[in-house]
Amino acid sequence: MNYYDFYYYSLCHVCKERINVKHCKKCKCVGYCSKEHQKLDWLMHKSICTAISLTRDSFNNKKIFSFQSWIEHRLKLHSKWRNILKRELLSYENQIWMFLPVCSICYSEDITVVCSECLNVYFCSKEHQEKFESCHERYCKELSLCMKTDVELFQIKQYPISKVASIPANYVGFPENNFEFLNCVLEENNKGITFQKDKELVLKYELIALSANILNTLRICKIIKERKIDKPEVVLHVVGACNTEITFDWGIISEVVFHYIINLVYLKVYLIGPTCNASLLECVDPLTYCCECINLERKVDVEVVQDLYHNAENNLRKPDFILLLNSGLHEFENQKDLDTWLPSISCLLKNVNVPILLTAYTKNEIIKDTNILKCSCDNLTFFLDCVENPFVNLRPFRDWNTENKPVFYFNNYITILKNANV
């Protein structure tokens, strides 16, 4: 992770330290701990600084009386900055308009108080801080952890290295939640440590969270029985994939799956989505296998398919399992001309008796996405219907457009189903 990949108002944009941070006098949004770091970032900062400064007058937050109008205000800024720069915004530039420093009560730009714990919430006065305290205290630690994990990845440049444990052959149970799963499949003893306090533990689990969700789904659907499956190969379709899934550590994900499913020797993974960039696979570290997997000749094969699912499906091996990760099926449900999901949904539901794991960030999203599937097929069997996921990712991310809940988690809610074709 590079310094320009993410942005926090309260941190030096270059070194991510919180000491002696002073903000650019022109844009008033990006801070630095020294003149040296400001000069180092100038070529990167110059264009967005100009865009912010040119739209400073439109920051007139006196017209903002609700959170919804604050969302609309920021979306207009996003559009103006893109038009000025004549390009798409970079990741950290998007985070600037998403997380503009304003008072959490009145949206004033005159910030005098910053939460000393999370450094992510701002106020124009002590009175407004006290007024917001009961709402903020529920998420203060999560916002703090969000920043700490981002900074940790920036400082160490890679995820913490973990060694996958050999699971005893006589163990036929399955962990009940993410913390138990982490202790079951990794060799480190993490007892007594909590996710809320340990950023390294959060990052370790992030590497293997998908393994937990794959295994849990196959177990619930009774594809796995006493840690065995009916055939030695599994074909996985990840539908609606993007570049994020390409950069997953498929080596450790598959190793965890191999160690749990005793007789599995081959995992074929298709990452299917129109925005997937297959060349990213060349930038990912080569897959490595432990001695146990090498001796048993186990192998994972990841293939990127840059296309919509309904266009690509006939050229793929039939799936044993389908993943729809935080896919937002409902996003264009009222804009049929923009909705590319409808034909793909019909296509993936043709796979009879194939388990489908649908995940979403929020309860509202999982209900909407699940309803779309329900309306698309009359023969669906539900194993889990719109429930909280016990194997949710534990790394929080800042949420810019949900009132009074400033963080979200990947795969927070799940539905597990199949087309029974009865």
Encode pLDDT of 142-182 as tens digits: 999 999 999 998 988 777 777 888 899 899 999 999 999 99
- Model-level pTM? 0.90
**For residue 83, how many other CB atoms are within 10 A of its CB?**
11
Rounded to the nearest integer, the mean pLDDT of the chain is 91
DSSP string, 250-288: HHHHHHHHHHHSTT--EEEEEEE-TT--GGGGGGSPPP-
For residue 419, how many C-alpha atoms fall within 13 Å in the half-sphere facing its CB?
19
* Across 64-74, average pLDDT: 90
Is 195 a residue whose pLDDT tops 80? Answer: no
DSSP β-ladder status, 266-272 and 233-239? parallel
Residue boundaries of the structural domains of the chain: 3-152, 158-419
Contact 256, 246 (CB under 8 A): no
Summarize pLDDT for 12-36 with one digit per residue, the tens. 999 999 999 999 999 999 999 999 9
Distance between CA atoms of residues 364 and 5, nearest Å: 29
Q: Give residue-wise pLDDT tens across range 211-245.
A: 999 999 999 999 999 999 999 999 999 999 999 99
For 97-119, what is each residue's pLDDT tens digit? 999 999 999 998 899 999 999 99
Q: Output the pLDDT for position 73.
A: 92
Report the alpha-carbon distance of residue 368 to residue 365 in Å, rounded: 5
Determine the topology of domain 158-419 in CATH: Rossmann fold (3.40.50)
Tokens for 242, please give them: 């993007």
